[in-house]
Structure 1
Amino acid sequence: MARLTNSIADFIIDLLDAQGGSVEIQRNIIAQRFSCAPSQINYVLTTRFTPYKGYYVESRRGGGGFIRIVRAEISDSQMLKYILEDEIGDSLTKDKADEIIDNLLENDIIDKREAEIIRVGLSDRSICTDGTSRNIIRASILKNILLVIL
């Protein structure tokens, strides 16, 4: 399944590259191309093309429905607001923090060394407290880092 998911994601990324960062697709056509269920396309969209990974996804259902995917600049103020309010919120797990850091690295907002420094600062070893408090502290630290970086 991971191989199929990667193939679908790579295909969509290739389309985005070829069309200047914005593409409209139809779920059923992509599903037919990869001989999979349309729900598999939904899975790829919800896990690989999220706002904190630098994408806006708009979906219109119905007979002529489409999915529009737009590669966004992570430095946009709307993206920063989304990351700070919706993705980080009041609490942040280590895995979610790693996803956000990976996205910043992929978009050349930070370099590899900065990413590792941020990861260490957000690690469970650095935040010596219980799980719930740790995630609250981690969210606060990352929000403050992002306000400086972005």
Structure 2
Amino acid sequence: MRNISDIIEEYLKQILDSAGKDAIDIKRSELADRFQCVPSQINYVIKTRFTVEKGYIVESKRGGGGYIRIIRIKHQDWADLIDDIMAMIQPSCSQQAAYDVMERLLEEELVTEREARIMLSAIERETLAFQLPLRDEIRARIMTSMLTTLKYLNK
């Protein structure tokens, strides 16, 4: 069974897709009313599900006429996307950021579900049994190596 965060995320992504645009403006209070939840639930979804690692930029304007703008980052080609991801994960990368990157690679159809699972198994904290911050630095190096390979194999 899906939770409310999954439902809100899916709704926002559907709006982005159906609008045919790369950005939408929403009002947090209106969205909270629609899903009969507290506004902080909307904040949580936007903070955790619409991150740069997942390919989104979020802007907000506070006040009476305030809104939250969700912008989908579009790249001209997959090589630029991979370069941007590699820059983003250096010099260290948390496990959550790595999961977010893999989710984005799946959405962009640069990797298959199987490839993503294999890549994630190589960089999860149980595999990289080192203390922080070394673990996050090693994860970033491994991911950079995998992404570099992916970039040149896709040519």
The answer to whether the superposition gives a TM-score over 0.5 is yes
Q: Which runs of 5+ in 1 are unaligned?
A: none
Partners of 1:66 and 1:85 lie apart in 2 by: 30
Instruction: Please give the TM-score of this superposition, normalised by the length of structure 2.
Output: 0.76
**Structural mapping, 1:45-84, within 5 Å:** 45-73=46-74, 75=78, 77=80, 80-81=83-84, 83-84=85-86
Q: CA separation of 1:3/1:125 partners in 2, compared to 1, >3 Å: closer, same or farther?
A: closer
Q: Give deviations 1:126-147, integer Å, cap 9, x for gaps.
A: 54x5223232111112123334
| Identical columns (%) | 36
Q: Which runs of 5+ in 2 are unaligned?
A: none
Instruction: Please give the TM-score of this superposition, normalised by the length of structure 1.
Output: 0.79
Q: CA separation of 1:115/1:78 partners in 2, compared to 1, >3 Å: closer, same or farther?
A: closer
- Following superposition, the deviation at residue 119 of structure 1 comes to 2.3
Match of 1:105 in 2: 106
Check conservation: 2:53, 2:97, Cα contact below 8 A. Answer: no
**Structural mapping, 1:1-150, within 5 Å:** 3-20=3-20, 21-73=22-74, 75=78, 77=80, 80-81=83-84, 83-86=85-88, 88-124=89-125, 127=128, 130-132=130-132, 133-150=134-151
Count of equivalent residues: 146
- Following superposition, the deviation at residue 91 of structure 1 comes to 2.5
Partners of 1:25 and 1:11 lie apart in 2 by: 12
RMSD after superposition:
2.6
Which stretch shifts more, 117-126 or 38-47? 117-126
